[in-house]
A and B are shown apart, each in its own frame.
Chain A
């Protein structure tokens, strides 16, 4: 199994190189540079030229690329010319917020989706299944922003159960106070987000159970005199969870792209909101760094899926 993981890690190297090249070239193709627009229009054009030359913008693209990659290795993602701070520090604060929100959302997603999927699969075509299917159609068909804004308006604004913006309240103090306040700000967006995110997992699990129920090996287990309850949990369910594990990487990527909307709706200071803000402010340095990070996280998500798969499915281990 370690061989599988090692091989998977080695495959990631070319993936990362291609990703960084693409991100860099796309950033280069975007119009303008840090010196267009953000500098006093009365500045002497010659001086701007000099600045451009000093920043290395006239070097061949591959020289610029290797300089950029070299800086990446030093943890230098460049400087935001809009906010005038290093992108690294800009992202670090937000990354923390997004990480905890995503983690909470993931936990909630699976704790909602897995029981629902099991119920639907076990009681296929019965009323329990119909109920889950209706829930699934609603969550699949409702656009996130409609659902979030509706929830925000109803529970946050009208009923006042949850804070409607921010990640921590200003007057929280002490370790537990801050932690509680953070959780209080996070839990509501996470619940709303998780409800929308369950669809895929529920559907995969339901289909898995329905398909596996009629497999020959399940009949074999029954023919051995294994009680039905054990047949379900030990044989059917374990095989049905395979697609969920394969889907995990996708879920993580989905959470990241979805975080843009939920964070914007709740003015939650995370990477998703930063990304959208960077687009509207034409903050290319930050944008490039974020795209690179999202790309890397996607690769890590897939890696995680593969590792989990290789742990639970012996068929894909490399001998």
Chain B
């Protein structure tokens, strides 16, 4: 081989396709350096300001990869509409959460400067996870996101619950990643390639390797999204984590972990659509039933919302069971809007927890309308969105899932979904009744909220309604994303 030929095969990475990731990496290291250099109150404000500026820059830079779709790094990094959409929402949600961070940690006397660069690295993991078909890259990205979340969960001074949650998350998460990599190895044996697209379109002899590999690989993700029976870590981690981190895990985290699943969907529909539908459908049914029934008996609202997050994984998986275009659209739409509602609902808790003597128990929410009317109203919006009352985004999501299910005539799953939504009515409406129709029973201090926090809550509440009432606002993103993974 001559030198020219050798150089010819070397592809120069196209910066335009991974500019946001690059900025994020620079941001993470900048935050790291700042964290080491500065001290005290000045550091907190500096880190927050630099984070905001950095994420804003990332948002702006998303236009570049949107304009230049295509693979780079020898097809191990895929930049398509789906990736850009996910990155857009992940960044926006992170910015919404960021408003609450400093005040929250100050209240609990638990400020760690590490939070900011860990967050940036986690988001980098999310970005990469959203834009790859390569098993090794997916594996690394998965690790990056997970390790980020383990540490962020544990970063809570003096809270044993947070350590317990993080440890459970670590053990089960580690196991799941091991399973995923084991699955990846099997798939490599089957097709001799690490690219999921090639693996799933390869016409090999040893199909059992592929099945085994795919099953292990997907179990790895099932653990991450909290699907039953792999959900045991989730309530503890969600409850133990600092609430802004819970908000991140429920929104950005869930968004990231579902994307590889979404990318696999078009690829399975030829080879084993029936097996896929039945397996994913059964897991979906179990997940939504379990999540909702257990949420119904929770006394702690944060834990209740954690179980509701499990239930929503079930609804999302129900959409994923329909490996057709409509199923993918339903999954992606519901995923994006669920992130908004979930972030909002946990952020309300993050705000309330700063009230003197506040605990996230049901009776503390009694008469919230009288003590904190605006917060109660925002929480009301998130709750009805999670329940799926029209015209909120949660309703549009459920309607799309129903459409997807009737597309494949999965009536049994549709009825399970009706049943589990019926169960969920109990706990969401209970909170609404408590907040608006009862008098306050516990004396607590009122948290002081900053303008940025109020803005963040107002915008997420507004988005929870608007994205449902006028889905056209983001539908073009959904169409483009699904078209991109279908290879159109």
> Are both chains from one complex?
no
Which B residues contact A (CB, under 8 angstroms)?
none
Which A residues contact B (CB, under 8 angstroms)?
none
